[in-house]
Structure 1
Amino acid sequence: MTDVVTVTEPRPGVAQITMADQENKNTFTGDLLAGLGRAFAQVQADERYKAVILTGYGSFFCSGGTREVLLDIHAGESTFQAKDEGTPNAYSLPLECPIPVISAMQGHAIGGGLSMGLFADFVILSRESIYTANFMKYGFTPGFGSTRVFPAKLGLALAQEFLLTGRTFRGAELAERGVPYPVRPRKDVLAAALELAESLAEKPRRSLVLLKEHLVRELREQLPAVIEQELAMHEVTFHQPEVKELLLSRYGA
């Protein structure tokens, strides 16, 4: 593992993948992306594991794309897809993982970071943290599979509010809005994830793998076409002059 992504075994049969790039606030840097790919590959290859917890550090879960990468996309030099064929896309790693994944989103989850968290099988949110699909804040349409996973996991009405407005929600507000996931004080998120993971680890791995495959088959099958549509929208929306201006003036604000 890279220093910014580690794999531990907090309970028998439970893997914990922790993102802790404190210098970059868990944005999708090359180190974080590579570390996530290796971490999920390690977990998938070890048949002792029956459940995965994906979490961050302190007040950050995952902050999505870096400004440099977003500016590269604006310039037509990159996309949000992995550059090398056969390299996994970090945002969909929880979906592709054969065993159940719990996103313990103890901290802020922004843009593609929130999308990645929602691709998990279980989600636990923090009352104090902020959650935002802020793509439209910068003038470009959403990516990272957001246009499919948000409606699937949050319901159409809340997904539309997230995606069209780009507004920021506190976990406590999402709880009041009836988000279909537990919302806990930040200090309790990981403990709740561990309790859930322990209950999953009591089951046979093969049964968990088969049932997850059945439950997520439709989303897995639909995702490639959704990504193509999102990339097509980016060809129209990402290269507008105001997008660069907004990225330079608003990014991180």
Structure 2
Amino acid sequence: MKSGYGDHISAAMDGHVAVVTIDRPPTNFVSVELIHDLADALETADGERDVRCVVLQSEGKAFCAGADLARPDDRVASGMDGVSALYQQAARLFAVDTPIIAAVQGAAVGAGLGLAVACDFRIASPEARFAANFVKLGFHPGFALTHTLPRLIGEQRAHLMFLTGRRIKAEEALDWGLVDQVVAADELRGAALALAREIAENAPLAVIATRKTSRRGLLEAARAQMAHEHEQQTILRATEDFAEGVRAVNERRAGNFTGR
């Protein structure tokens, strides 16, 4: 594998495991370019005969804090064309054949939660927090979360996360099945790598075939759901509540919403 993909994605090999790192600290905000480069790295891993599993990790205090909607020069923040471009790149993540394990430290919020949930497994540190905070922005969930999150933790718990926007702590996430293991922060990457090695020691063709069966229809469902999410987001993005929500989140206060 190449060692670098764009400005914020790097990759390294550890035996049969590709370790892919997001390095856009401190919050690792998503962007069209970052997800494009991440998809490039994962597709490269798919094409490498020696790669049997991937660990996805990130530098900084957060795993991924979602989109930076307050940054006017960002394509996602600037309009729905940028969101559409983001989802086109996100769909490539669901097309990857190689199992992916996310090592989650700190926040996985919004699109960052979508990224974590797109992986096969999630290992978290006690400091990890998970939130689908879209309603706090006056927005609609995206990144196919309205399909992938209920599939993972059940409709009722996903519904609770969507309508409250609350942050779920690591231990509660473990109880819900949102994460598969919680370990100390200094053990996080080692635990993710250990699980990846456990998968990688098995027959690779059997692993890929079994994974495809388990995730059958996921790519198509994710694409369809992102198209629907984009429609709803387009409507809500034009509202006064969305503008207030972005201000409120950036000012770390509750939104003063009016339903307009």
- Do both share a fold (TM > 0.5)? yes
Q: Which residue of structure 1 lines up, in the alignment, with residue 44 of structure 2?
A: 42
| 1:166-194: CA deviation from partner (whole Å, max 9, x where unpaired) | 11122133335564621222222211111
> Per the alignment, do residues 207 and 28 of structure 1 end up closer, same or farther by CA in structure 2, a change over 3 Å counting?
same
Which residue, out of 56, 59, 63, partners 2:58?
56
Q: Alpha-carbon deviation of 1:50?
A: 0.2
Tell me, yes or no, if the aligned pair for 2:142 and 2:230 is still in contact at 8 Å: yes
Q: Which amino acid aligns with 1:12?
A: G
> Per the alignment, do residues 109 and 93 of structure 1 end up closer, same or farther by CA in structure 2, a change over 3 Å counting?
farther
Distance 2:173 2:97 in 1: 29
Distance 2:188 2:118 in 1: 18
Q: Which residue of structure 2 lines up, in the alignment, with residue 5 of structure 1?
A: 9
SS in 2 for 1:6: strand
| 1:40-87: CA deviation from partner (whole Å, max 9, x where unpaired) | 1221221110000111114211111121345423xxx5252327xxx9
Q: Alpha-carbon deviation of 1:151?
A: 0.3
Moved more, 97-106 or 181-190: 181-190
Moved more, 141-150 or 184-193: 184-193
Q: Which residue of structure 2 lines up, in the alignment, with residue 206 of structure 1?
A: 205
Size of the alignment, in residue pairs? 244
User: So what's the TM-score if we normalise by structure 1?
Assistant: 0.87
SS in 2 for 1:150: helix
Distance 1:252 1:61 in 2: 21
Distance 2:136 2:179 in 1: 25
Please list every run of 5 or more consecutive structure 1 residues that lacks an aligned counterpart in the other structure.
Answer: none
Distance 1:66 1:252 in 2: 13
Q: Alpha-carbon deviation of 1:158?
A: 1.6
Moved more, 106-115 or 168-177: 168-177
Q: Which residue of structure 2 lines up, in the alignment, with residue 184 of structure 1?
A: 183
Q: Which residue of structure 1 lines up, in the alignment, with residue 258 of structure 2?
A: none
Residue 18 (structure 2) pairs with residue 15 (structure 1): yes
Tell me, yes or no, if the aligned pair for 1:53 and 1:193 is still in contact at 8 Å: yes
Q: What does 1:69-108 correspond to in 2, within 5 Å? A: 69=75, 71-73=77-79, 77-82=80-85, 88-90=88-90, 92-108=91-107
> Per the alignment, do residues 228 and 207 of structure 1 end up closer, same or farther by CA in structure 2, a change over 3 Å counting?
same
Tell me, yes or no, if the aligned pair for 1:138 and 1:250 is still in contact at 8 Å: yes
Higher relative contact order (CA 8 A, sep 6+): 1
Tell me, yes or no, if the aligned pair for 1:130 and 1:168 is still in contact at 8 Å: yes
Residue 131 (structure 2) pairs with residue 111 (structure 1): no
SS in 1 for 2:97: coil
Tell me, yes or no, if the aligned pair for 1:114 and 1:133 is still in contact at 8 Å: yes
SS in 2 for 1:123: strand
Tell me, yes or no, if the aligned pair for 1:95 and 1:121 is still in contact at 8 Å: no
Q: Alpha-carbon deviation of 1:110?
A: 0.9
> Per the alignment, do residues 29 and 234 of structure 1 end up closer, same or farther by CA in structure 2, a change over 3 Å counting?
closer
Q: Which residue of structure 2 lines up, in the alignment, with residue 138 of structure 1?
A: 137
Q: How well do the aligned residues superpose, as a CA RMSD in angstroms?
A: 2.2
Q: Which residue of structure 2 lines up, in the alignment, with residue 123 of structure 1?
A: 122
> Per the alignment, do residues 114 and 252 of structure 1 end up closer, same or farther by CA in structure 2, a change over 3 Å counting?
farther
Distance 2:170 2:12 in 1: 27
Q: Which residue of structure 2 lines up, in the alignment, with residue 155 of structure 1?
A: 154
Q: Alpha-carbon deviation of 1:3?
A: 3.7
Q: Which residue of structure 2 lines up, in the alignment, with residue 242 of structure 1?
A: 241
Q: Which residue of structure 1 lines up, in the alignment, with residue 28 of structure 2?
A: 26
User: So what's the TM-score if we normalise by structure 2?
Assistant: 0.85
Identity %: 26
